[in-house]
Structure 1
Amino acid sequence: MASVSILVADDIMAQSKKARKRSDDLRSIATHFARLLKADLHFLYVEDIPERLRKGDKIKSLDQRNPQMTAKLRAELEALNPGSELHLDRGNPILKALEWEKKLNPDLIVLGTRGHKGLSKFFLGSVAEELLRRSRRPVLVLGPHYSSAEFPANPRAGLRILLLSDLTSASSRAEAYTRKLAQKTKARVTLMHSVGDPIMRLRQIYAQSRIPMYSLEKEVQEIKDFARIQMKKKMERFKEDGLTVQAKLIEHDRDLADDIQDELTEGYDLVVMGTHAHNRLLTVFLGSTSRKTCLLSSVPVIILPSSS
């Protein structure tokens, strides 16, 4: 048994063509990372059966109802990655997933999302959002625009990671995770930060408070200079570990989600970002930016809770 493990929340009973494709993509990306990290794979399927029907075994387990199908599936998963395990459970998908997270303590959780509710409602009320909100482990999300044809972008060159940081302690865990992942996979990293949002908020404060605008540009320059200094320090930390890293500082007021999507066209394989302790995505990605990033990204997005 490997010391590293990956838990995949997979809908093995997917019926529609689109749902089956999403399930295949989950297995493919999980297998890819299992090989990169030399990890064991655990596939979890939870039947969402009401408690009143679970009592007294009114409905038999999937293994009992269709042993041939589950045996075939286990063989398929074993062929994908030797040692893979299939865990079948029944109950609330969110609570059961969290139970298995606690039991297995995986190094990575992999799940997909349909994003069928639109940008303003993406994740809301969904299993994906609740797991992101309550999980303490890194979670890899495959959005509806994930393209298996684009992963990996260049198999021979190794992974290329876009690390989104707000340069505060809230991003420390995501940065540490990226360094560790880059060391294991010989990945190249781009550290990306935007000062557009704090500058935009500062302009609003000046306008609302009727503060003389002549001092605004000085404060704007201080924000930019501080960001450059912090990014330089963080890049040095990567270089100390022998990693290839470059910086991308966004200085304009444009929607950051659009900048991220533009940057992803440069051939990235993965996005890594963090969350604050109060379970909101990084404050640098205010409003719909974080949702749009996950929803529109053609590559996997790994989200980590802060260490606090």
Structure 2
Amino acid sequence: MLPVYRTLLYATDLSSNAAHAFRHALALARRFEARIHILHVLPEVEPAVLNFVATVMGEERLADMELDHKDEVRQEIRMRLEAFAREEIGDPNEGATLVSEIHVRHGNPVARILSEADEIDADLIVLGSHGKGRLHYTFLGSVAEKVLHRSKRPVLVVPLG
């Protein structure tokens, strides 16, 4: 039996060429009458950086700033993703039927993509992969590669320029 895709998770880093991967998600959504969940993960700040900033600013002031700005940043990214989806889809009526929800989360990108896919019971995860070269992958790995290896769900990795 051929797979049927009803729920797609499109994960984006908001890079300038991420629209290429979104177009693949759109094509699949149109073909299968599927719904797309758009996800952007805000990575957590490294503890060493936080410690340095806390030392310079003071812990209380940093904590207040983090609380104030997390919601602002999340809302700004949500608005950017909504505008991005509207522009790529073109037709506002079709947009309402294709994009189910926009999620902006904090945390480890790989873990959040996989947990979000489980939470929405995604039939397919769609994400782009940036070609960084062999040395980069050897030492750091990539989000797409890690999702591909850890996912129990099908993953479509679209090479980005």
TM over 0.5: yes
2:44 is aligned with 1:49: yes
CA contact (8 A) 1:43 1:86 kept: yes
Which residue does the alignment assign to 2:33? 38
Superposed CA deviations along residues 101-135 of structure 1, whole A, max 9, x for unmatched, are 11011111101111212399579721111111110
Q: 1:122 to 1:111 in 2, by over 3 A?
A: farther
CA RMSD of aligned residues (A): 3.1
Aligned-partner Cα distance in 2 for 1:39–1:123: 37
Q: Write the distance in 1 (CA, Å) between the matches of 2:123 and 2:86.
A: 20
Percent identity (aligned): 34
Rounded Cα–Cα distance in structure 2 between residues aligned with 1:28 and 1:123: 30
Deviation of residue 75 (structure 1)?
4.3
Instruction: Note if 1:65 corresponds to 2:65.
Output: no
SS in 1 for 2:81: helix
* 1:74 and 2:82 matched: yes
Cα distance in structure 1, aligned partners of 2:116 and 2:142: 18
Q: Secondary structure at the match of 2:38?
A: strand
The runs of 5 or more residues in structure 1 that have no matched partner are 15-19, 146-308
> By how many angstroms is 1:142 displaced?
0.8
| Equivalent in 130, 134, 138 of residue 146 of structure 2 | 130
Query: How far does residue 72 in structure 1 lie from its aligned partner after superposition?
Result: 4.8
How many residues are matched? 134
> CA contact under 8 A between 1:50 and 1:91: conserved in structure 2?
no
Structure 1 position 33, deviation (Å): 0.8
1:142 aligns with 2:158: yes
1:59-99 deviation digits (Å, cap 9, x = unpaired): 532x5237456335314425623241210001111111111
In the other structure, the counterpart of 1:25 is 20
* Equivalence map 1:3-18=2 (5 Å): 4-12=6-14, 14=15
Q: Secondary structure at the match of 1:116?
A: coil
Give the match for residue 53 of structure 2: none
User: Whose Rg is larger?
Assistant: 1
Offset of 1:46 from its aligned partner? 0.4
Task: Give me the whole-angstrom Cα distance separating, in 1, the residues matched to 2:83 and 2:160.
Answer: 28
Distance 1:123 1:107 in 2: 31
Distance in 2 (CA, whole Å) between partners of 1:123 and 1:32 is 34
1:42 maps to amino acid: H
CA contact (8 A) 2:74 2:104 kept: no
In 2, Cα distance between equivalents of 1:69 and 1:50: 17
Pair 88,119 (structure 1): closer, same or farther in 2 beyond 3 Å: same
